[in-house]
Chain A
Amino acid sequence: MAAPESGDGNNGAARMVTLISSDNTRFEVEAAAASLSQTLQLTILDGGGGGGDGIPLPNVDSATLSKVLEYCIKHAPAAANGGAPNATAVDRAELERFDNEFVNIDQSVLYSLIMAAHNLEIEGLQSLVAKKVADMIKGKSPMEIRRTLGFPDPTPEEQAEMNAHMLEYGWAYE
Protein backbone atom coordinates (compact mmCIF):
# COMPACT_ATOMS: atom_id res chain seq x y z
CA MET A 1 0.00 0.00 0.00
CA ALA A 2 1.26 3.46 -0.84
CA ALA A 3 2.35 5.49 2.14
CA PRO A 4 0.53 8.76 2.77
CA GLU A 5 2.36 11.65 1.16
CA SER A 6 3.22 13.35 4.40
CA GLY A 7 4.83 10.32 6.03
CA ASP A 8 3.89 10.17 9.66
CA GLY A 9 5.90 7.11 10.64
CA ASN A 10 2.82 5.26 11.75
CA ASN A 11 4.37 1.83 11.18
CA GLY A 12 2.84 1.40 7.76
CA ALA A 13 -0.73 1.77 8.96
CA ALA A 14 -2.71 4.21 6.84
CA ARG A 15 -2.84 7.65 8.36
CA MET A 16 -6.25 8.54 9.72
CA VAL A 17 -7.89 11.93 10.06
CA THR A 18 -11.00 13.00 11.93
CA LEU A 19 -13.73 15.09 10.33
CA ILE A 20 -16.43 16.73 12.41
CA SER A 21 -19.85 17.34 10.88
CA SER A 22 -22.00 20.39 11.57
CA ASP A 23 -23.95 18.41 14.17
CA ASN A 24 -20.74 17.42 15.94
CA THR A 25 -20.46 13.82 14.81
CA ARG A 26 -16.86 12.67 14.45
CA PHE A 27 -15.83 10.59 11.43
CA GLU A 28 -12.46 8.89 11.32
CA VAL A 29 -11.28 8.11 7.79
CA GLU A 30 -8.06 7.41 5.95
CA ALA A 31 -6.28 10.60 4.96
CA ALA A 32 -6.11 9.34 1.39
CA ALA A 33 -9.90 9.20 1.18
CA ALA A 34 -10.48 12.60 2.78
CA SER A 35 -7.85 14.09 0.46
CA LEU A 36 -10.15 13.60 -2.52
CA SER A 37 -11.54 16.88 -1.23
CA GLN A 38 -9.41 19.72 -2.59
CA THR A 39 -10.60 21.79 0.33
CA LEU A 40 -9.32 19.31 2.90
CA GLN A 41 -6.21 18.24 1.05
CA LEU A 42 -4.00 21.15 2.11
CA THR A 43 -5.06 20.93 5.74
CA ILE A 44 -4.31 17.24 5.74
CA LEU A 45 -0.94 17.71 4.02
CA ASP A 46 -0.11 20.22 6.74
CA GLY A 47 -0.74 17.50 9.28
CA GLY A 48 -4.18 18.69 10.36
CA GLY A 49 -7.05 16.46 11.38
CA GLY A 50 -4.96 13.96 13.28
CA GLY A 51 -5.02 13.04 16.94
CA GLY A 52 -7.82 14.56 18.97
CA ASP A 53 -8.11 17.68 16.82
CA GLY A 54 -10.38 16.84 13.95
CA ILE A 55 -11.34 19.14 11.07
CA PRO A 56 -14.71 20.86 11.59
CA LEU A 57 -17.01 20.99 8.57
CA PRO A 58 -19.70 23.49 9.58
CA ASN A 59 -21.50 23.24 6.23
CA VAL A 60 -21.96 19.47 6.12
CA ASP A 61 -24.32 17.51 8.36
CA SER A 62 -23.55 13.98 9.51
CA ALA A 63 -25.96 12.19 7.14
CA THR A 64 -24.43 13.96 4.15
CA LEU A 65 -20.86 13.57 5.38
CA SER A 66 -21.28 9.85 5.83
CA LYS A 67 -22.59 9.60 2.26
CA VAL A 68 -19.72 11.75 0.95
CA LEU A 69 -17.17 9.62 2.78
CA GLU A 70 -18.72 6.45 1.38
CA TYR A 71 -17.91 7.88 -2.05
CA CYS A 72 -14.40 8.97 -1.07
CA ILE A 73 -13.48 5.62 0.48
CA LYS A 74 -14.66 3.78 -2.61
CA HIS A 75 -12.82 6.09 -5.00
CA ALA A 76 -9.63 6.68 -3.00
CA PRO A 77 -7.68 3.62 -4.26
CA ALA A 78 -8.29 4.51 -7.92
CA ALA A 79 -7.41 8.16 -7.27
CA ALA A 80 -4.18 7.10 -5.52
CA ASN A 81 -3.15 5.36 -8.75
CA GLY A 82 -3.27 8.69 -10.53
CA GLY A 83 -6.65 8.22 -12.15
CA ALA A 84 -6.09 4.47 -12.23
CA PRO A 85 -4.36 3.99 -15.56
CA ASN A 86 -3.75 0.36 -14.58
CA ALA A 87 -7.27 -0.29 -13.41
CA THR A 88 -8.79 -3.39 -14.90
CA ALA A 89 -12.05 -3.31 -16.77
CA VAL A 90 -13.58 -5.14 -13.83
CA ASP A 91 -12.46 -2.42 -11.41
CA ARG A 92 -13.84 0.29 -13.64
CA ALA A 93 -17.12 -1.53 -14.10
CA GLU A 94 -17.39 -1.96 -10.35
CA LEU A 95 -16.81 1.77 -9.76
CA GLU A 96 -19.39 2.60 -12.40
CA ARG A 97 -21.91 0.25 -10.79
CA PHE A 98 -21.17 1.86 -7.43
CA ASP A 99 -21.62 5.37 -8.86
CA ASN A 100 -24.95 4.51 -10.47
CA GLU A 101 -26.22 3.03 -7.25
CA PHE A 102 -24.77 5.89 -5.23
CA VAL A 103 -26.84 8.61 -6.91
CA ASN A 104 -30.01 6.56 -6.93
CA ILE A 105 -31.29 8.67 -4.07
CA ASP A 106 -33.96 11.05 -2.93
CA GLN A 107 -33.80 14.59 -4.32
CA SER A 108 -33.22 16.22 -0.95
CA VAL A 109 -30.21 13.95 -0.40
CA LEU A 110 -29.02 14.76 -3.89
CA TYR A 111 -29.35 18.44 -3.02
CA SER A 112 -27.17 18.03 0.06
CA LEU A 113 -24.62 16.07 -1.94
CA ILE A 114 -24.42 18.74 -4.64
CA MET A 115 -23.68 21.36 -1.99
CA ALA A 116 -21.21 19.19 -0.10
CA ALA A 117 -19.35 18.18 -3.27
CA HIS A 118 -19.19 21.85 -4.18
CA ASN A 119 -18.02 23.07 -0.77
CA LEU A 120 -15.50 20.27 -0.32
CA GLU A 121 -14.41 20.46 -3.97
CA ILE A 122 -14.54 16.76 -4.69
CA GLU A 123 -14.22 16.76 -8.44
CA GLY A 124 -15.44 13.25 -9.20
CA LEU A 125 -18.46 13.63 -6.97
CA GLN A 126 -19.31 17.04 -8.44
CA SER A 127 -19.25 15.50 -11.87
CA LEU A 128 -21.32 12.51 -10.76
CA VAL A 129 -24.12 14.54 -9.18
CA ALA A 130 -24.16 17.00 -12.09
CA LYS A 131 -24.60 14.11 -14.49
CA LYS A 132 -27.39 12.72 -12.33
CA VAL A 133 -29.32 16.00 -12.42
CA ALA A 134 -28.67 16.29 -16.18
CA ASP A 135 -30.15 12.82 -16.63
CA MET A 136 -33.23 13.96 -14.73
CA ILE A 137 -33.60 16.88 -17.18
CA LYS A 138 -32.92 15.10 -20.47
CA GLY A 139 -35.87 14.51 -22.75
CA LYS A 140 -38.24 16.65 -20.68
CA SER A 141 -40.21 19.72 -21.70
CA PRO A 142 -39.44 23.02 -19.95
CA MET A 143 -42.51 22.64 -17.74
CA GLU A 144 -41.63 19.05 -16.88
CA ILE A 145 -38.14 20.18 -15.93
CA ARG A 146 -39.59 22.82 -13.65
CA ARG A 147 -41.84 20.29 -11.97
CA THR A 148 -39.08 17.68 -11.66
CA LEU A 149 -36.72 20.09 -9.95
CA GLY A 150 -39.38 21.60 -7.72
CA PHE A 151 -39.53 25.06 -9.25
CA PRO A 152 -42.47 27.15 -8.10
CA ASP A 153 -45.22 27.57 -10.69
CA PRO A 154 -44.22 30.14 -13.29
CA THR A 155 -45.45 33.68 -12.78
CA PRO A 156 -47.97 34.91 -15.38
CA GLU A 157 -45.18 36.90 -17.07
CA GLU A 158 -42.91 33.86 -17.23
CA GLN A 159 -45.73 31.74 -18.58
CA ALA A 160 -46.55 34.33 -21.24
CA GLU A 161 -42.91 34.51 -22.23
CA MET A 162 -42.66 30.73 -22.53
CA ASN A 163 -45.87 30.54 -24.55
CA ALA A 164 -44.72 33.25 -26.93
CA HIS A 165 -41.41 31.48 -27.44
CA MET A 166 -43.12 28.15 -28.00
CA LEU A 167 -45.45 29.69 -30.53
CA GLU A 168 -42.62 31.18 -32.49
CA TYR A 169 -40.18 28.28 -32.29
CA GLY A 170 -42.57 25.44 -31.68
CA TRP A 171 -40.80 23.26 -34.19
CA ALA A 172 -37.83 23.05 -31.86
CA TYR A 173 -39.93 21.82 -28.97
CA GLU A 174 -42.04 19.09 -30.50
Chain B
Amino acid sequence: MAIATSMVLDDYDDILGQILLRLTFATSLVHAALVCRRWLHIVSHPAFLRRFCDLNPPPLLGLYVHTKDLQLPKFMPMPDLPNELTHIVHRAISALDSYPPETNVSISSCLKGRLIDTGILLITQRHWRRILCDGSPPVVADGFIGSIEVASLSVDLVQFWKSCSH
Protein backbone atom coordinates (compact mmCIF):
# COMPACT_ATOMS: atom_id res chain seq x y z
CA MET B 1 0.00 0.00 0.00
CA ALA B 2 1.39 3.34 -0.97
CA ILE B 3 1.48 5.74 1.92
CA ALA B 4 2.18 9.36 1.17
CA THR B 5 5.28 10.78 2.75
CA SER B 6 3.26 13.81 3.76
CA MET B 7 1.45 11.62 6.28
CA VAL B 8 4.68 10.91 8.13
CA LEU B 9 5.64 14.52 7.99
CA ASP B 10 2.27 15.47 9.40
CA ASP B 11 2.92 13.81 12.70
CA TYR B 12 6.52 14.43 13.55
CA ASP B 13 7.91 17.94 13.77
CA ASP B 14 11.41 16.68 14.51
CA ILE B 15 11.52 14.50 11.40
CA LEU B 16 10.24 17.34 9.26
CA GLY B 17 12.74 19.71 10.84
CA GLN B 18 15.60 17.34 10.03
CA ILE B 19 14.47 17.24 6.41
CA LEU B 20 14.06 20.98 6.05
CA LEU B 21 17.48 21.61 7.61
CA ARG B 22 18.98 19.73 4.68
CA LEU B 23 17.50 21.86 1.94
CA THR B 24 20.91 23.56 1.54
CA PHE B 25 19.62 26.66 -0.23
CA ALA B 26 17.60 29.44 1.30
CA THR B 27 15.68 29.63 -1.95
CA SER B 28 14.47 26.05 -1.47
CA LEU B 29 13.57 26.82 2.11
CA VAL B 30 11.47 29.77 1.02
CA HIS B 31 9.48 27.50 -1.26
CA ALA B 32 9.09 24.87 1.44
CA ALA B 33 7.75 27.53 3.80
CA LEU B 34 4.75 27.98 1.54
CA VAL B 35 3.77 24.32 1.43
CA CYS B 36 1.45 24.70 4.39
CA ARG B 37 1.10 26.62 7.63
CA ARG B 38 2.82 23.95 9.67
CA TRP B 39 5.90 24.03 7.47
CA LEU B 40 5.94 27.82 7.60
CA HIS B 41 5.72 27.65 11.37
CA ILE B 42 8.72 25.31 11.66
CA VAL B 43 10.80 27.19 9.11
CA SER B 44 10.11 30.59 10.69
CA HIS B 45 11.37 29.59 14.11
CA PRO B 46 14.47 31.63 14.96
CA ALA B 47 16.28 28.59 16.37
CA PHE B 48 15.60 26.68 13.17
CA LEU B 49 16.87 29.55 11.04
CA ARG B 50 20.04 29.83 13.10
CA ARG B 51 20.72 26.11 12.67
CA PHE B 52 19.97 26.31 8.99
CA CYS B 53 22.43 29.18 8.56
CA ASP B 54 25.08 27.28 10.55
CA LEU B 55 24.64 24.12 8.51
CA ASN B 56 24.31 25.85 5.16
CA PRO B 57 26.70 28.77 4.96
CA PRO B 58 25.60 31.17 2.23
CA PRO B 59 27.49 30.69 -1.01
CA LEU B 60 29.27 33.43 -2.90
CA LEU B 61 27.07 34.09 -5.90
CA GLY B 62 29.35 36.32 -7.90
CA LEU B 63 31.14 39.61 -8.26
CA TYR B 64 30.16 43.04 -9.46
CA VAL B 65 32.79 44.26 -11.86
CA HIS B 66 33.00 47.98 -12.55
CA THR B 67 35.51 49.37 -15.01
CA LYS B 68 35.80 52.82 -16.50
CA ASP B 69 34.33 51.48 -19.75
CA LEU B 70 31.15 50.39 -18.02
CA GLN B 71 28.45 52.82 -17.12
CA LEU B 72 26.90 50.37 -14.70
CA PRO B 73 28.59 47.68 -12.67
CA LYS B 74 28.29 44.27 -14.27
CA PHE B 75 27.46 41.17 -12.30
CA MET B 76 29.68 38.19 -13.00
CA PRO B 77 28.23 34.99 -11.51
CA MET B 78 30.54 32.38 -10.06
CA PRO B 79 30.98 29.43 -12.37
CA ASP B 80 29.16 26.16 -11.68
CA LEU B 81 26.44 27.51 -9.42
CA PRO B 82 23.73 24.95 -8.73
CA ASN B 83 20.44 25.25 -10.62
CA GLU B 84 18.56 26.18 -7.47
CA LEU B 85 20.32 29.55 -7.48
CA THR B 86 19.70 30.38 -11.13
CA HIS B 87 16.88 32.82 -10.60
CA ILE B 88 18.66 34.70 -7.85
CA VAL B 89 21.70 35.05 -10.07
CA HIS B 90 19.44 36.25 -12.85
CA ARG B 91 18.11 38.93 -10.56
CA ALA B 92 21.61 40.00 -9.69
CA ILE B 93 22.50 40.29 -13.37
CA SER B 94 19.46 42.38 -14.14
CA ALA B 95 19.49 44.27 -10.86
CA LEU B 96 20.69 47.52 -12.32
CA ASP B 97 18.78 47.31 -15.61
CA SER B 98 16.05 49.66 -14.52
CA TYR B 99 18.43 52.59 -14.29
CA PRO B 100 18.34 55.11 -17.10
CA PRO B 101 21.57 54.80 -19.12
CA GLU B 102 23.08 58.06 -17.90
CA THR B 103 22.66 57.18 -14.24
CA ASN B 104 25.86 56.98 -12.32
CA VAL B 105 25.66 53.94 -10.07
CA SER B 106 28.34 52.62 -7.88
CA ILE B 107 28.24 49.78 -5.46
CA SER B 108 30.10 50.79 -2.39
CA SER B 109 29.95 47.37 -0.86
CA CYS B 110 27.64 44.51 -0.33
CA LEU B 111 26.12 42.99 2.69
CA LYS B 112 28.02 39.99 3.77
CA GLY B 113 25.55 37.19 4.03
CA ARG B 114 22.69 39.55 3.34
CA LEU B 115 19.81 38.85 1.03
CA ILE B 116 20.49 40.05 -2.46
CA ASP B 117 16.83 40.69 -3.14
CA THR B 118 16.70 43.25 -0.37
CA GLY B 119 19.32 45.24 -2.20
CA ILE B 120 17.59 44.81 -5.51
CA LEU B 121 14.24 45.84 -4.19
CA LEU B 122 15.79 48.93 -2.74
CA ILE B 123 17.33 49.77 -6.05
CA THR B 124 14.48 48.99 -8.38
CA GLN B 125 11.59 50.10 -6.27
CA ARG B 126 12.97 53.04 -4.41
CA HIS B 127 15.81 53.91 -6.74
CA TRP B 128 18.41 54.03 -4.14
CA ARG B 129 21.73 54.91 -5.62
CA ARG B 130 23.71 52.14 -4.12
CA ILE B 131 23.27 48.78 -2.56
CA LEU B 132 23.36 49.09 1.19
CA CYS B 133 26.75 48.51 2.62
CA ASP B 134 27.74 46.80 5.81
CA GLY B 135 30.55 49.21 6.51
CA SER B 136 33.36 47.06 5.22
CA PRO B 137 35.41 48.75 2.48
CA PRO B 138 35.09 47.49 -1.08
CA VAL B 139 37.82 45.19 -2.25
CA VAL B 140 39.88 46.78 -4.97
CA ALA B 141 41.97 44.39 -7.00
CA ASP B 142 45.33 45.64 -8.22
CA GLY B 143 45.99 45.57 -11.92
CA PHE B 144 42.43 46.21 -12.95
CA ILE B 145 41.18 49.36 -14.51
CA GLY B 146 38.43 50.46 -12.24
CA SER B 147 37.60 48.35 -9.29
CA ILE B 148 36.21 44.99 -8.52
CA GLU B 149 33.90 44.85 -5.62
CA VAL B 150 33.40 41.51 -4.06
CA ALA B 151 29.75 41.01 -3.61
CA SER B 152 28.81 38.40 -1.15
CA LEU B 153 25.35 38.17 -2.56
CA SER B 154 23.90 35.55 -0.43
CA VAL B 155 20.86 34.98 1.59
CA ASP B 156 20.48 35.77 5.21
CA LEU B 157 17.29 34.07 6.26
CA VAL B 158 16.66 36.05 9.36
CA GLN B 159 16.76 39.22 7.32
CA PHE B 160 14.63 37.59 4.71
CA TRP B 161 11.90 36.65 7.09
CA LYS B 162 11.94 40.07 8.65
CA SER B 163 11.35 41.51 5.23
CA CYS B 164 8.59 39.01 4.53
CA SER B 165 6.75 39.21 7.78
CA HIS B 166 5.53 42.77 7.50
Contacts and interface: CB of A to CB of B under 8 A. Distances in A.
Given A108-B1, A130-B15, A171-B91, A142 B35 contact: yes
Contacts, number: 99
B70 interface: no
Nearest to B87: A174
Contacts of B37: 158, 161
B84 A172 contact: no
Interface residues of B, number: 39
B24 A138 contact: yes
A103 B142 CA distance: 50
**For the complex, would chain B's binding face be called helix, strand, loop or mixed by DSSP majority?**
helix
B83 A139 contact: yes
A107 B34 contact: no
Given A138-B24, A174-B87, A127 B36 contact: no
B164 interface: yes
Given A142-B31, A171-B91, A114 B22 contact: no
Given A137-B19, A138-B24, A151 B8 contact: no
Nearest to B25: A138
Interface residues of A, number: 37
Interface in A60-87: none
Interface in B1-35: 1-9, 12, 14-15, 18-25, 27-28, 30-32, 34-35
Interface of B: 1-9, 12, 14-15, 18-25, 27-28, 30-32, 34-37, 83-84, 87, 90-91, 117, 120-121, 160, 164
Contact of B4 (A140, A149, A161, A173): A149
Which 10 A-B residue pairings sit nearest by Cβ, starting from the closest? A150-B4, A134-B22, A142-B34, A130-B18, A149-B6, A108-B2, A174-B87, A151-B6, A133-B19, A149-B5
